[in-house]
Chains A and B, each alone.
Chain A
């Protein structure tokens, strides 16, 4: 027990004391935000020059409705140049050719270009011209005598109004009390937690593996093993590194608390007019059962980490150097990516059979269950999932310890899976 404590202490302190830990802890949220927002920002950058599109419209009814923007300039011409150079000599991006009355023949329009036309441009043309055709058809209707013009105006209003239906979601708890909830917020929480789990478990699992490989390849393990039981050495490493992970989470939680608290006071003090919708969002944020999420997060986070860290410890013990780990890491990562995808899919269908079963299977449950919990999961499922997870951990750790014990003292040839299984039976 004393040795275990010493190992945990060493693993924890040497890592926490490193400068890189502090830097990474602070930089990570920034990188995380960057990775999410950079592509959004980049996709918003427009081309510097507008693309010219020649519109040939013999009917004369449509071309004028296409508005030029910063991105596209619609030039109306009356004959097809046949090639992508306009009369002024500047290069044309494409030619839009209307050949017939679109209200009669809606397919009588073609876009010619050298490159595949972008979706944004096509949907703009489609939606604009559809509206034109729609109102044109309504106008034709109004010319008939048997229809009251008032009705037509109403129809026009209805088709133009954009009042979409918005469903308010309410959840009943067992006592029948209802509260307003937000699917968007539940999905958001599920998504963030999934990513956090994925990142942490892989990162810290790999850290366990590299630690074992390091001890083995520089032979410190030979020195340690005479005074520490291999089980203590392995568990000490797994627990010590796990505590580093929890410390990092705690630092982030504190940072997040400070940032959101200061943002809150700034909002109320500046008395911003758009603070009202923000406040309803905040209320919705509090409608989620945070205590349940927090408890489950800790349970599944620790459980998921323990199970994967044990597997990574086996890999570390089986090989001699860092290069050889790849072959064994691959399948583990694949399983993990599978869990991540099931998790993302579960956001759309949190109670589907795939989500349900994968939230019980211990290697996928930490991720998948955490996606489902913000949407509300029956207590028995949560308890069952946690129970299965922790029973599996005991078994996996026992198995890992047996393999580890033999593996750390084996040098030379990289063992095959079969040989590793055989180690299990060694005394």
Chain B
């Protein structure tokens, strides 16, 4: 392990790989979180509280894209004297999420197995 630790890491490359790794997970997390209705600010807070930080500049375009793809529905409503856009999972989103969760568990299990085997 000492040898691995002493090799310098290419930071921009690592950042790019992290971004790639996070991208698919974020979609899954956002869809899962929107089984309950949220508006952008509370959604981001809920994700952060559970350890998944996401920038506004990433979250809002993602929500808009998922809505265009028919996985979310949104509604403007007044709350605390302020207009807010509330999002929740659409029926198509619920079905997609169910399948994605199955895929995620399979993938996660496989990766865990591989990681467990290589770390031994």
Do chains A and B interact in one complex?
no
Residues of A within 8 A of B (CB): none
Residues of B within 8 A of A (CB): none
